[in-house]
Structure 1
Amino acid sequence: MNPKGDRIRIIDRAEKFVRAGRLNEAIAEYQKLLAEEIPDPTILNIIGDLYVRLGEVNSAVKYFRQAADFFESRGGSSQALAIIKKIIKIAPEEPEHILKLADLLCLQGYTREAEKEYLRAAAIWRRQKKLEELIPVYEKIVALNKENTEPKLYLAELYINQNRSKEALIQLNEVAELLLSRQEWDKAHSILERAQEVGPLDERTVGNLIQVFKNKGQAEKALELVKKVAAEAPENLTFRYWLGNLLLEKKEIDQAEKIFESILAERPTDVRARVQLGKIYVLKEQSERAYELYEPLINSLLKKKKEDKAIGLLGIVLSSPTMPLAALEKLADIYKARNERANLEVVTRAILEEARQRKLKEKMYAALADLMELAPKDEEVSREFWSLRRELGLQEEPGRPPTETDEEFEELLARADIYIHQGLYRNARRILENLALQRPDDERVRQRVEFIDKARVEVPEEELVLRVEKISAIENEIEKRPGGARSFLSFLRETGALDEKVTSAEIFHGTDLLPLTVTQPAEMKYYELTEKITEELAAIREAIIHQLQKGRGAEEKELAEIILEFKHQAKIKLGLEDYETHFQLGMAFLEQGIYDEAIEEFMISAQSSEKALESCTLIAEACRRKKDYAEAIHWLEKCVELCRSDAEKLHAIEYEIASLYEKLQDRQKALSFYQKILSWNASFRDVAKRVAALQRAS
C-alpha cells in the first residue's frame, strides 16, 4: 500500500466529481483524507468551499473553523484570519466568529480594527438581549483602549446589573482618574457620585473625591466627606489618616496630632501616620521629639539598605529651626558609610555650628577633627581646631615641637602659598620642607608638596634674574604689611589674583610686583565655605517646611527630591514653550535615575512636534526602567502613531512593544508583533529567533 499514491488517486477522483458537479461525492472523497493523524487545513478549506456551493452554510462554517483553528495553533494567524473572514461573509450575524476575527486582528497588532469588530459583536448581542455575553466582550474592548471612557462606563453598568460591585467600582474610578488627569473636574465628580452609590465607603472612590474637591477649591467639602466616612467606618485607619491630613492642611495642628497619635496607638507600625506626626512635631518646633519618633523607622530603613528614604526622614527633622545634634550625627554616619565626602562636609559643618551655639566643646572638637580631614585647606578650621585642642588641655601630637606656635606655622604656610602662586616653587619647597619637619602629618603641607612635584617646570637661564628680583619684591611686600604673609595672601585673594594665572599685570596693580610671563600650571584654590553652607542649609530648611505644610507623603521623599522641589520655582521660569530645555532636563533626570521627574519634563517637550517622537520614546524608556511595562507600552503606542510613514522606525518601536509584552508574560501579543516585523524584514535584529522561541513555548 502506498499512502502517497492513495492520496493522489483520492484527490483525482474528488476533482473529477467536482468537475462533474457531483459535489457530495467530491466531499465524501475529500473526507477520506481527513482520517490522517494530522488533518490537512487545505482539505478542510476545500470541503468548506464545496459546502458553500451546496448552500449548506453550517457545514461550511464547521470545516472553515477547523481549518482556521489549525492554522492558529501552528502560529499561522494570517491564514486563520483569511479563513475567518470567509466565514463572516456567509454568516455575518454570528458574534462568535466576529469575536474570533477581532482576536486574530489583535494578534496581528491591528487594535483599532479589532475594537470595531468587538463593538460589532457586542451590538448583535445587545439586539439579541444576551447581556451576559457582553461582559467578556467589553472587558476586551476596555483592555484595547484604556483612554476610551464610554466602554468602561458601559462595562461598569453591566457589572452593577450582575451584582459585581467591586469590578464596577474599579471601572468607575479608572474613568474618574482619567478625567482627573485631563482636569475635567465636574465630569470626574459626576462619575464618582455614581461610584459612591455603588460603594459609599470605597477607599479609592473617597480618595478620588478628595482630589476633586481640592482641585475645585472646595477643601471644606473634602473635610466634610472624610469626617462622614470616618464616622461611619471608625475602624478604617485610611479614612482617619486622610482626616488628619486635611486637618493638618487646614492648620488645625492639635486635632491632626490627636488623630495621628490614635492611629499609632492602634497600629504602631503605620509608617504614614508616624511620618505625619513627626511633621507636626517639627512644625511645633519639637524636633527632638520628631527625631525620637522617626529613629526606629530610620534604623529599619538603614538595615534594609534604603539610605535615601532614611535621609528624607532626617531632612524633615532637620528642617526645624533647632536641628537635633543626634539627627545631624545620624546623617553624617550615613554619608560617611556612602563615602559622600561633599555631603559629609556640609553636615559636619552644621554639627559644628549647632555644637558651637550650645557650647558643647567636645562635640565641637570631634566635628573640627573630622573637618581637618575633609577640608584640609580650610585655614579657619585648622586654627579653631588647634586653639580648641589647647583649650581642652589635650597633648600635642607627636612630632609637633611645643615651642612652635600655630601663628608662626600659619604665617609660613601663607608665605609658601604666595611663592607657589608666583611660580617660585623652589622657595616654596624649602618652607614646606621645614614645616613638614614640625608637623609630618599635616595634610595641607603634604598636598602643597605634591602639587609642586607635579607642576615643576624648567626655568630658562635668562629668567633667573627676573626670579631673583621677584623674590625680593615679594619679601618687601610682605615686610611692609602689618599682618605679614597672611595679610598679603588675603590681599591677593580679595583682588582676585588667586583666581587667575600670573600673566595678568592688572592683578598686582598698586604693589611693587611685576608678574612673570612664564605660563604656569593651574593654581590651587582655597574657599571659605561657612557662609555658603549656612545659605544652603537655610534653603533646604525652607524647602522642607514648604513640603510639610503641603502635607505630601514624605515617607517616599528623598533629600534629593526635597532640594529639587526647592529649585522648582527657578525651573518654572523656563516657560512651558522652552521645549529643548525641558527635554535636556528630562535627559539629565533619566541618567540620574530620577524617573518621575524625567517623565514630567518629557511630557512637556512632547508637545513640540519636533520633539514629540523622541520624548514619547524616552517616557517609555523611563517607564521600562521603573518596571511599569504596561505604561511603557502605552507611550510606545503613541510613538507608533507618530511614525507610521517611516517603516524602519515603526518596526523598531513595534519590536520594543513586543519585548515589553514578553516582560508581561503575554506571549500571544508579543508573537503577533514579532510576526508582523518578520513579514516585513526577516533579518531585523533577532526577530526570527524570538518568533521561533515563542511558537515553541505556545
Structure 2
Amino acid sequence: MKALSKKEKLLAAAQKNLLKGQIGKAIKDYEKIVAIDANDIRNRQKLAELYSRDKMAEMALATYESVAKHYEDNGFFLKALAVYKQMQKVDASKPELYQRLAEINVKQGLVGNALTEYHNLLKLYRSQGETDEALKILDQMKELDPDNLNISLQVAEAYSQAQQTEKAADCLVEILQRITPVADLQAVENVQKVILSKCPATDCPEFNPVMVELARAFLACGQADRSVELLQSVLENDSQNTEALLSLAKSYRSLADHSKEISTFGSLLELDADNLNWHKGYACALLADGQTEQALGELEKLKEGFFAEGRAADLKESYETIAEQLPENEKAVVSLQAIYEQTGEGGKLFDLMSTQPDEAPATESIAEDETADSVEPTSFGELDLEDEPTTAPDNLEQSSSFEVEADSPVEVEAAQESGLEFDELDLDGIEFGLDTECSDDASTSADTLLDGDLPESPVEVAIDAAGEVEEAEFYFQQGLLTEAAQKCQALIDRLGDCPQAKQLLDRIGKNDVTGLDAGQDKKVVATAPSGAKGPLQGLEDRERSRLDGSLSDFKKGLENQVSAEDFETHYNLGIAYKEMGLLDDAIEQFDKVMADPQRRIDCLTLKGACLVQKEAFEDAVSAFKEGLAYDALKDGERISLYYELGLLYMEWKQPLEALDSFQCVADADPFFRNVDDQIRQLRKELGLDDDSGGNPSGNGSDKNRVSYI
C-alpha cells in the first residue's frame, strides 16, 4: 500500500476534526495545507469558509479575496462572482464588494444584475449619509441605463438636494428632451410632479430652461393650453427669454390664435430684427391669419437672405401656399420658380410654368389705355399692312410723303379729340407712297426724322424702335412666333434697316415655325407653308415651344450648381426628365449616377426603359445585359432585369428571345409578376404547346425546358 503524502495526511486529519466539530483544529490543518501548496485554490476557499463559520470575519474576507482575485485574473468571472457573494454574507457593510460585483456583472453583460448591485450600494451610501458617493453611483447607473426614466429622475432629485441646481436643471432638461419626441403625456406629468415636489428651486433663473422644456413637452402631447400657462410664468420673470417666446408662438399656432402668434413673433423681432427664422415665422403667422399679401411682402424682404444661405427649400411651402391663394400674383410665381430652380425640382418647375397663361400680361392693356391720353399713336408694328388703298380722313391733308408738319400739333390733337383711336381703325393696307414722283422725298423725310435731324419744333409721332423690338421679343418668348415675325418685318419695312429686328427675325426663322416669302417684297405671311408645323397646330406644341428656352436655361443652371458626386440629385433629375418625356436628358443623368454602386442596377434598368421608349432596342439590350454581367448583382435584381429584357424582346417582335428571358425569370421565381402568363402566351404564339400544357414555371422535368438562344 502506497504511503500517504503529508498533504493527504493533513486533509484526512482535517476531515476527522470537522466530523468531531473541532473547527479550530480543522482550520490549523487547512492552514498547513495552503502553506504546502499555495496554488491549491479549492482548499484555500475551504479555509475561508471555515474562518467564516468560526466568526473570524477579517481572516475570511482576506482569504476569500485572494480566491476571487485568482478567478478574475484567470477569466473565471462567474466563480469570482460567487466568491464575492460569499464575502457579502460575511460583511454586507463594505461598499467595495457591491462595486466589484457590479463591475464584473457589466463585463459579463449582465446589466440587470449590475443595476441591482448599484442600487444596493446606493442605499448603503444613503444610509451612511454619503451624499457625494451616492451621486457618483447614480451617475454610473444613468450611464449604464440612459433610457431608464426613474434613474434619471433620481439623479436630478439628488443634485437638487445637494444644492447643485444647475446640474439638476441640466438633468431634467435632458430627460424632457428624451421623452418629448414620443409624446408620452404620463411620463411628462411624472416629471412635472418630481419637479414641483422634489426640486424646491424651480422659481430660480437656472430652472427657466426646465420650465420651457416642460412646456414644449406638453405642446408635443397636444396640451397647448398648459404649455402657454408655463411659458407665461417664465416670461413674467424673464420677458426677453427668446426660447420661451418662440415656444409660446408655436403654442399659439397650435391653438389657432394667430393674432397672438403674430404679436409674439413681433416681440422676438424687436430683440433681433435680423433673425431670418423669426421673420419667416412672422410671415407664416400672417399667412395663417389670412393676411396673404402682407405675408408675401414679408417673405419677399427676406427671400434673398435665405437664397444666399442655400436655404430656398425653407420657403417653398409658404410660397406654394401663396401661389395657390394668389395665382395671378407675378411676384409669388417668379419667386416660386426661383425656389424650384435652386432646389433642383425640375418637374415642379415645368408644371408651374405650364400653368401660366399664354396671353400677354396686363401691361399691354394699360399701355393701350394710356394711348388715348397721349399724343403718340399706337405702335405701327401692331398694324396689319396690306397693299390696299385707304381714304385719309377729311381733316388730314393728303401728302405723298406722309410728312407731319412741325407747326400742326393742333391738327393731331383735333384728331384725338374726335374720339378716334388707332387701335379702333381698320388700317389694313395703308400705303405711304401714293405719288411715285414724291417717293424719294418721303424716304428722305423719314430718314431725316429717324436720324435725329429733327425740326426746331418736336415731332410727336417719332417711332420707338427699341420699344417695338422689345415688344416683338416678348411675343417670341411667349411662343407667339407669327406675331413676333410680323412685328419685326413691319419695323424693317418702315425703317429700311433695323439690325435688332433682323437678328430677332433670324432667331424666329431658326425655330422653323413661320416663314417669309421673299417674292412679296419681304411681306410677312400669316400662315406657315404647307407641311410646316405652324404655331396654331395645338396648345401642347405652343406650350412646348414657349417653355423650351426656359427649360434649357434651367438645365444649364443645374449643371453649374449640382456636383458630379451628388448622385441623389442626378437620379431624381433623371426620373423627372423621364416623366416629362425628355429621354435623352434622362439617360444622361442616369449615366452620371451609374458611378454609384448602390444605384448602378436601378440606373441601367431605367436607362434601358428610356431606350425602349426611343425604340433603340439594340442599345436597350446592351444596357440590360450590362446589368446582368455586374459582379455584385443580387438575385432579385437579376430576376427583374430578365423580366425587363423579356418585355423588350416582345416590343421588338422577337418572341423566341422573349420566351427565353421569361423562362430565366420563372426558373428563379415562378410567381414573379405575370411571368407564367407571358410564357404561356409566347409558347402558344410559337406553336410550342404540348399536351400537358407545358410547365412554364420550370418545375417539371428538364426535357420540357427549351432554350431558344
- Relative contact order (alpha carbons < 8 A, sep ≥ 6): 1 or 2 greater? 1
Q: Which has the larger radius of gyration?
A: 2
User: If the TM-score is normalised by the length of the shorter chain, which range does it land in?
Assistant: 0.3 to 0.5
